Amino acid sequence: METEVLLKKLEGVQTIDSASNILKMSKEGAIYYIFRLRKEGYVKTKRLSNNKRVYNISFENRLKGTSYFEIINKYSPVKIATPITYKIYGKDPSLEETLVYAVKTGSLRTILASLALFRKITDWSRLYRLAKKNRLERQVGALYYLAKKIMRVRRMPVRFRNNALPKEGYNFGYTIPNLMSKDFKDIEETWKIYLPFNKNDLSDYK
């Protein structure tokens, strides 16, 4: 069976059973074709908690694209399960770009998971440029100091802090609309940004 035909039939998330049903053949035959596609780079395999394997079969897998969520999951103890498939091809997204993307999502769990990236950030100038472009300087600053309370992080340069801090007369803003912390009022007051987490929300980082 030609590769193009196989991809068209099996594209998506499959098990050996589902592939066998789709191809109308034995499990042994389905295994052969899935392994052939995997050898060609079209398959990503994942083992579930019950030890069962599932196969993500897609043409894009061969392009070796990377998603922001894959980068976050690589570094964070808080894992993100998401149906969104958004891959960047032709380049690997930087940690700075990934962090700003996470804040932009407005997703509680995505932002929580992204706090771990502060342990790896090295290009603070790039982070500031991206944050400023997206008007997220204060959110990034506040989240950094939140991360600093729960883990060892790389030191934020004084220049970044001074540029990102709110100027006189700034009103409070939100990281996520209508959510604010009960436990981190000091950070919120300094950055004039409400944080969406309380201490209990950060238990995965202990």
Where does the pLDDT of residue 48 fall: very low under 50, low under 70, confident under 90, or very high at 90 and above? confident
* Residue 182 confidence class, pLDDT cut points 50, 70, 90: very high
For 51, counting Cβ atoms within 10 Å of its Cβ (0-12 exposed, 13-18 middle, 19+ buried), the class is: exposed
Looking at the chain, the whole-number percentage of residues with pLDDT higher than 70 is 94
Give the C-alpha distances (Å, rounded to integers) separating 83 from 13, 23, 80, 131, 176. 11, 25, 10, 26, 21
Q: State yes or no: pLDDT of 42 exceeds 90.
A: no
Confidence (pLDDT) at 47: 83
Instruction: Give strand ranges (E) for 10-94.
Output: 12-14, 43-47, 53-57, 66-67, 87-88
pLDDT of residue 3: 82
pLDDT at 186: 96
Instruction: Say yes or no to pLDDT of 153 above 80.
Output: yes
Structure tokens at 87: 């891959």
Instruction: Name the β-bridge partners of 53.
Output: 47
Q: What does residue 134 show for φ and ψ, rounded to 5 degrees?
A: -100, 10
Can you give the pLDDT at residue 63?
61
Give pLDDT, residue 58. Answer: 84
Residue 138's alpha-carbon distances to 13, 127, 172, 192, in angstroms, are: 40, 12, 10, 7
Residue 121: predicted pLDDT = 95
pLDDT at 113 over 60: yes
Q: How far apart are CA 196 and CA 192, in angstroms?
A: 13
The CATH number assigned to the domain with range 3-63 reads 1.10.10.10
Q: Write the pLDDT tens digit of every residue in 56-96.
A: 988 777 766 678 888 999 999 998 876 555 666 556 789 99
Tokens 């991809």 correspond to what residue?
Answer: 7
The packing angle between helices 3-10 and 16-23, to 10°, is 120
Mean pLDDT of the chain: 90
Q: Where are the domains of the chain?
A: 3-63, 66-205
Dist. CA 2–CA 184, nearest whole Å: 59
